[in-house]
Structure 1
Amino acid sequence: MGTLPVIVTHEWQMAALLGYLLGSIPFGLLLTKLFKAGDLRSIGSGNIGTTNVLRTGRKDLAAATLLLDGGKGAVAVLLAGYWFAPDAAIIAGMMAVIGHNFPMWLKFEGGKGVATTLGVLLAMSWPAGLVTAATWLLVALALRYSSLAALVSFAASPFYMYFLGDENKAVLAVLLAALGIVRHHANIKRLLAGEEPKIGQKK
């Protein structure tokens, strides 16, 4: 019994490392370089995520980035849950989003974690994740603002997770929502000023 806290701590550390390393893979940047779609860091917002990949004009690469960025978050959660204690999956999910937002390979200048957050939520509780993704899609289709869709879905996700998942997972959703909203601070300013570009519009 005396060694249990050490084992749990070790599992959390391993889950955190796993989540960060998976999350820090910059799929958007890798895909645009591989298919010669331009230097993603010098296009639009300079972000490595799906919305900025879309600004290259390559919808196929944007779709692939969305799936891969979401997939790495989901895989981090599922692997940590399989290899370690169930609560380690929560740690891995949080660190996957942090890895995407602050990848050491890119001097800690990454994306905003929208797709990766959705992937994490889907893996933690697919009903809550699915409703969160549907919220993002509905807002994006109706208003054509990716950032606003992200903000609305982030804000709603803790409630979805609380009612469709459980309290511990809802805490993760709160932390991810807070991180996502902070990462969108510049977008919030542009939205309020009426200067935020719509989906597909060059920044």
Structure 2
Amino acid sequence: MAGDSINLITSIGLIALAYLIGSIPFAVVVSKLMGLQDPRTYGSKNPGATNVLRTGNKAAALLTLLGDAFKGWFALWLAHRLAGAGNLPSALEGAVAVAVFLGHVYPIFLRFQGGKGVATALGVLFALQPWLGLATALTWLIIAVFFRYSSLASLVAALFAPVYYVFGSGVWWYAQAPVTAALVVIGGFLYWRHRANIARLMRGTETKIGSKKKA
């Protein structure tokens, strides 16, 4: 299917499919399969890897992280395959990226009460450009190691992701305006979803990485 022949119905279908893929709640699924408490009932009540880590079960947190990142990557990979390799229009690519991210943040399977989308956003970045994903992941890791705040690391990484994408254009890839816009939109939602974390960071009461849930 040629990129310029993708009609409106097909485009809507790909976007809807991406949203449904993003809606798969790996934190809840993994916790249930491993006999852990529902992550929506403790800590930040966020169905994501960082909150699952508060149980002390690192394997569950890692599986959640990988699952959430994988669905971000997979949604874009699948869209490219269904559209024909290399023929997914950049506007549709950006829309699919936003859709899978929003699926995680506002999942239909959890009554639109989802996670913050950091891992899914990272998966999207790796699907768009592996080097972009790696640079953003390293940014997250550096901030997390030095400051021990997952939220702060996520906020810094979200800020730099579109910057890396734009300034890397012509060197490692060629930036597309719709994709740049999608990264900005995703970053904006990440900041919105972290507004409570931002307030706690400013008060000095934010929970550090590895802190277990309260009894």
| TM-score tier after normalising by the smaller chain length | over 0.9
Aligned-residue Cα RMSD (Å) equals 1.4
The equivalent of 1:15 in structure 2 is 14
The equivalent of 2:23 in structure 1 is 24
Decide which structure has greater helix share. 1
TM-score after normalising by structure 1? 0.93
Aligned 8 A contact 2:47 2:115 in 1: yes
The equivalent of 2:89 in structure 1 is 86
* Whole-angstrom distance in 1 between the partners of 2:189 and 2:14: 19
- C-alpha deviation, 1:125, in angstroms: 1.1
Identity %: 44
SS of structure 2 residue aligned to 1:162: helix
The equivalent of 1:183 in structure 2 is 193
- C-alpha deviation, 1:37, in angstroms: 1.3
Aligned 8 A contact 1:77 1:120 in 2: yes
* Whole-angstrom distance in 2 between the partners of 1:70 and 1:58: 19
Matches for 1:143-158 after TM superposition, within 5 Å:
143-158=147-162
Q: Which amino acid aligns with 1:106?
A: L
Could you list the runs of 4 or more consecutive aligned residues of structure 1 that deviate by over 4 angstroms after TM superposition? none
Matches for 1:19-98 after TM superposition, within 5 Å:
19-84=18-83, 85-87=88-90, 88-98=92-102
Long gaps (5+) in structure 1: none
Long gaps (5+) in structure 2: none
SS of structure 2 residue aligned to 1:136: helix
1:192 aligns with 2:202: yes
* Whole-angstrom distance in 2 between the partners of 1:48 and 1:196: 18
The equivalent of 2:132 in structure 1 is 128
The equivalent of 2:106 in structure 1 is 102
Deviation readout 1:35-63 (Å, 9 max, x if unpaired): 11112111101111010010111100101
Bigger relative CO (Cα 8 Å, ≥ 6 apart): 2
Deviation readout 1:60-108 (Å, 9 max, x if unpaired): 0101111110000000011112212333332221111100000111110
- C-alpha deviation, 1:163, in angstroms: 2.4
Match of 1:167 among 163, 170, 176: 176
Aligned 8 A contact 2:101 2:120 in 1: yes
Match of 1:115 among 114, 119, 124: 119
- C-alpha deviation, 1:143, in angstroms: 0.5
Q: How many residues align?
A: 199
SS of structure 1 residue aligned to 2:7: helix
